[in-house]
Amino acid sequence: MFTSINPATGVEVATYEELDRVELERRLMLAACAFKSWRISPMAERQVLLSRIADNFEANKHRLAEMATMEMGKTYLSAVGEAEKCATAFRYYAQHGAELLQSTITKLPNGKTAETVWLPLGAILAIMPWNFPYWQVARFIAPTIMAGNVGLLKHAPNVQGCAALIEEMVLAAGAPTGVFQNLPIQLSTVPDLIADDRVTAVTLTGSERAGRAVGAQAGEVLKKVVLELGGSDPFIVMPSANLDEAVSQAVRARIQNTGQSCICGKRMIVHADIYDEFLERFVLAMKAVKAGDPMSTDTDMGPLSSYAQRDLVLTQIEKAKQEGARLLVGGEALDRKGAYLSAGVLVDLPIDSSLRQEEIFGPVAMVFKANDIDEAIRIANDVPYGLGSSVWTNDLAEQERFIREIEAGMTAFNQILVSMPEVSFGGIKRSGHGRELGSLGLHEFMNAKTVLHSY
């Protein structure tokens, strides 16, 4: 049994039944059967299905948003935006998927030709997190369906209502039986599912610990896996930056989704020449952040996803303070019902502080001073993660250095990093491997088959 608890009120939202072994077996059989026909379905049929799914997300965005807000606490307006964003992913692959899947021809020295053909693999298992309960899944479903694969979703326990609605959107669009299925199962069932011959590959978005476990399980049975794990992204501000914009977007980065986003800047690394001014403005702006009812349109951020998540962040803050860091503002539990935490700013973290090597999954920023570009890059890379990065500089020579030397899968200049259907998404180091979205995400779970022609 799964139970959803509204983190803004602590009140139970709903309960959901788990699949028993018999029903799980039936659904695996459906997936295997569906793949036999879906793998050879016309591209036009896949495109139509994706377009209809996009229509459903747009038509039901308010209903979808209300469920996400109730189950994990994101603001209603941001949840509406998330549903709308999902539609863009389905439309992108509907419009461009066929072109991206075209085979390529290579002329060989012997006068003959070779061809690379993209072929689907089978049933792909997706293990998805709660922080973006629709978008994380949409960026899996859209390329999966377009590729001719079929999808199996194991969603986070606290967003089972969102998972059920996703399945409803897909089925209502006319998806053939078994092309996409939601599996309300416990984590303990996942190893057997990965080992099942009817599951051909696995994708996971989640914690480093979950990535290690799923990666090892997939490795045991030699199955392809894509891992999108945590991040402690640097947000670097250099003297040539527009300081007003940098401060504004730094706040947005830390409070977006109540700080529960893998790719938003968590470590603000500011050049010494502008450090004091940046810090003064940043602290004032973070102090002004309004945490409150996520259904209200004038709320900046809602609660964290659970009391446990809030308490974890509070524990990290307290440990950092004990190690010598200073908490300049916020970072405190609010005196009200719900898993609320005020936006906070930590400075002066000692070089050996454990928090420097961790991800804060909440609305608390760490701010560091860098004396020059070399130190900024060193601080940026001095973490085990390598997901994204945001760099604020108008100096082209500096931009070239940051592109080459920041250890991350993604870098955005003079803007916060966002995911979008058109470009690939993923990291390096302990942030995982493989890519989602764009052409690379479409090709991840496909057989790039080489064909040597006789002509």
Q: Catalogue the active-site residues.
A: 228, 262
Contact 316, 331 (CB under 8 A): no
List Cα–Cα distances, 321 to 22, 195, 260, 315, 318, in angstroms.
51, 44, 21, 10, 5
Question: Do residues 115 and 241 touch, judged by C-beta distance below 8 A?
Answer: no
- Between CA 341 and CA 331 the distance in angstroms is 6
Give one DSSP letter per residue of 56-73, joined into a string: HHHHTHHHHHHHHHHHH-
Q: Which structure tokens are listed for 195?
A: 């080992």
Assign 3-state DSSP to the chain and report helix, strand, coil percentages, each to 5: 45, 20, 35
CB-neighbour burial class of residue 132 (10 A; exposed 0-12, middle 13-18, buried 19+): buried
CB 282 within 8 Å of CB 250: yes
Three-class secondary structure assignment of 359-375: CCCCCEEEEEEECCHHH
- Alpha-carbon distances of 116 from 40, 149, 423, rounded to whole Å: 17, 18, 22
Q: Which two tokens stand for residue 108?
A: 């060989």
Token pair, residue 268, equals: 């603000």
How far does the chain reach from its first CA to its final CA, in angstroms?
60
90 with 169: CB under 8 angstroms? no
> How far is 17 from 185, CA to CA, in rounded Å?
9
